[in-house]
Amino acid sequence: MGPDAIPLSKPDVGPLEMELVQEVIRSGRLAIGPMTERFERLVASKAGCHNGVAVSSGTAGLHLLMQAMDIGIGDEVITTPLSFIASANPIVYVGARPVFVDICPKTLNMDPKKIEAAISPRTKAIVAVEAFGNPAYMDEYARIAAKHEIPLIEDSCEALGTTHKGRPCGSFGRAGVFGFYPNKQITTGEGGMIVTDDTHLADICKSLRNQGRDVFPDSASEGQKLGAWLQHPRIGYNYRMGEMAAAMGCGQMRRFDEMMANRERVARLYMHRLAGTESLVLPTIEPESEMTWFVFVVRLTTDYTVDDRDRIVEGLRLHDIGSATYFPCIHLQPPYREKFGFKEGDFPIAESVSNRTIALPFFNDMTEQEVDLICQTLEVMISRQNLRRT
């Protein structure tokens, strides 16, 4: 794609973020400082949770939760096959087995009716994902998890600020995780955050992200904290977030409403423009869900094959329009086939949907003209593909 291409996504970082990052640089405190704590409070409060634990990525956050909940070899964790691979990889990191549950074709989230059949005595958690940010069924997952006394982990990496029946994503389970990679609702470059009402769990995660050091209450003396700095009661990791990243996050949170209003505007433009395009299925968002929109993903109807879809995406890219096939099914990725024996046909709805999705450019300052050009080009590519097929 050339220099005038319309990218698939683009971060929205402005002078406020630059100012705050400079403030950190001037302060000389580059790690484990006040910006991280500030950012944790801002994100936790957006998710309606008492605690936030900033980490180096969304993936790191999920990994820490697996460790903190003592999930390991011989255990099973239920999750969705239609997601970014990072929602399942942490299950594999700790030696547990991912048990996938097929999706509902309307919302693209795990079908709540199919979850109970996947629960076994080894099930140690359910990792629920808001696919492309859609929070459908989060309350139902929470109910099923509670009934079976299994913790629900919400991988809300695509849903910061989204609410379902008035309740914020990240708050439905024992803990939630957000990701701040540049294509997410807000970015810190790289980064993530665990949110939870369970302060004990938050403290274990804080210790695990910081090389297994003990976490002290604010009332502890400096001497106590200093003496414990090189004591490591557990094996931890360095999954900390730096102060500069946290500063960028604080700036992004201050601009949250304005940024999300723009995402809503762009999503509406697409919805309106594509409503009459017969070959496409548009995102189905229930009226009880308030979306902050992670990406804008449409899909071809079942008249189209995976090859049709791939040619259309290739055509868009040749016309300088960023486009992607979000997401190939996780269970069909080579390590999942090899390690766990998954194969085509295991989760037919997820596979069928995944073969026909097209992610279109989506970023905050997109103009109506850009949306129109993208949609026109998409329609031309679909028409060309129709001709090739006849």
Secondary structure (3-state) at 77? strand
Angle between the 58-68 and 199-209 helix axes, to the nearest 10 degrees?
Answer: 120
Q: In this structure, what are the phi and psi dihedrals at residue 384, rounded to the nearest 5 degrees?
A: -60, -40
Q: Mark out the alpha helices in 47-98 (DSSP H runs).
A: 58-68, 89-93
* Minimum CB–partner distance for residue 79 and ligand PLP (Å): 10
Work out which of 35, 69, 115, 129 binds ligand PLP, going by CB under 6 A: 129
Q: How far apart are the first and last CA of the chain?
A: 29
292 is a contact residue toward ligand PLP (CB under 6 A): no
- Identity (one letter) of the amino acid at 363? F
Quote the least distance from Cβ 28 to ligand PLP, whole Å.
27
| Contact flag: residue 11 with ligand PLP (CB under 6 A) | no
How many residues make up the chain in this entry?
390
Q: Does 155 bind ligand PLP (CB under 6 A)?
A: yes
Candidate residues 49, 64, 94, 157; the one interacting with ligand PLP per rule CB under 6 A: 157
Indicate which single residue of 17, 158, 243, 346 sits in contact with ligand PLP (rule: CB under 6 A).
158
Contact between 296 and ligand PLP by CB under 6 A: the answer reads no
Q: Give the pair of three-digit tokens for residue 336.
A: 């999942």
Q: How many CB atoms lie within 10 A of CB 182?
A: 14
Residue nearer to ligand PLP on the CB measure, 59 or 385: 59
User: Which residue, among 220, 245, 215, has the nearest Cα to 39 in the 3D structure?
Assistant: 245
Contact set for ligand PLP, span 35-94 (CB under 6 A): 57-59, 83-84, 86-87
- Is 184 considered catalytic here? yes
Q: Which is nearer to ligand PLP, 319 or 331 (CB)?
A: 331
Catalytic position from the list 147, 184, 206, 343: 184
> Which residues, 6 or more positions from 287, have their beta carbon under 8 angstroms from its beta carbon?
none
Cβ 40 to ligand PLP, closest distance in Å?
16
What is the full DSSP assignment across 68-90?
HTT--TT-EEEE-SSS-GGGTHH
Binders in 182-211 for ligand PLP, by CB under 6 A: 192
Distance of CA 31 to the CA centre of its chain: 25
Asked if 154 interacts with ligand PLP (CB under 6 A), we say no
Looking at the annotation, which residues are catalytic? 184
Interface residues with ligand PLP (CB under 6 A) are: 57-59, 83-84, 86-87, 129, 155, 157-158, 179, 181, 192
